[in-house]
Amino acid sequence: MHRDPDCIFCKIVSGEVPSFKLFEDEATFAFMDINPANEGHALVIPKEHTPDLYAAPDEVLARTVVTAKRVATALTRTLNPDGLNLIQCNGAAAAQSVMHFHIHVLPRITDDALAMNWGLKLGDIDAIGRLAERIRVWI
């Protein structure tokens, strides 16, 4: 499986960098975002390093979307948000900051006024860890 030794998400998959893991299978990995735009913000990635939508093989895309659905369902059971976005960014202008394909699973609250290019703000790490435990129950 191709991995980039300088990629933060490849390091998360290998365990070199810690994460609050929600789920993994042979092809995909899901974990909490440490700069949550909203409570419950999670990321789903293919284990194989692939920079963006254009580079990702169809089979990898399909597996990643299926895992995103699984995480979205667990998040919804845990937090009962008003809505939920799957968001995927390609290129700096589209606010892609990590060049390893990923899908944001982002719970939404009515009138939360979340902008498309939300800024990165470190969350409460203990609270994120506790929430990950609650979501994992539903995965």
Report what 14 binds from Zn ion, ligand 5GP, none; CB cut-off 5-8 Å by kind. Answer: none
How many Å apart are CA 55 and CA 50, to the nearest integer? 6
**Site mask for ligand 5GP (CB under 6 A), range 53-92, x = bound:** ------------------------------------x---
Output the CA torsion sign for 7, 8, 13, 16: positive
CA dist list (Å): 110 to 23, 74, 80, 113, 117: 27, 20, 12, 8, 18
Report what 100 binds from ligand 5GP, Zn ion, none; CB cut-off 5-8 Å by kind. Answer: Zn ion
Q: Which of 47, 100, 102, 104 binds Zn ion (CB under 5 A)?
A: 100
- Residue among 70 and 101 whose Cβ is closer to ligand 5GP: 101
Q: Rule CB under 6 A: is residue 96 a binding residue for ligand 5GP?
A: yes
How many Å apart are CA 77 and CA 52, to the nearest integer? 29
Closest CA to 101 of 48, 58, 62: 48
Q: Which residues bind ligand 5GP (CB under 6 A)?
A: 8, 17, 19, 31-35, 43, 89, 95-98, 120
Known catalytic residues? 102
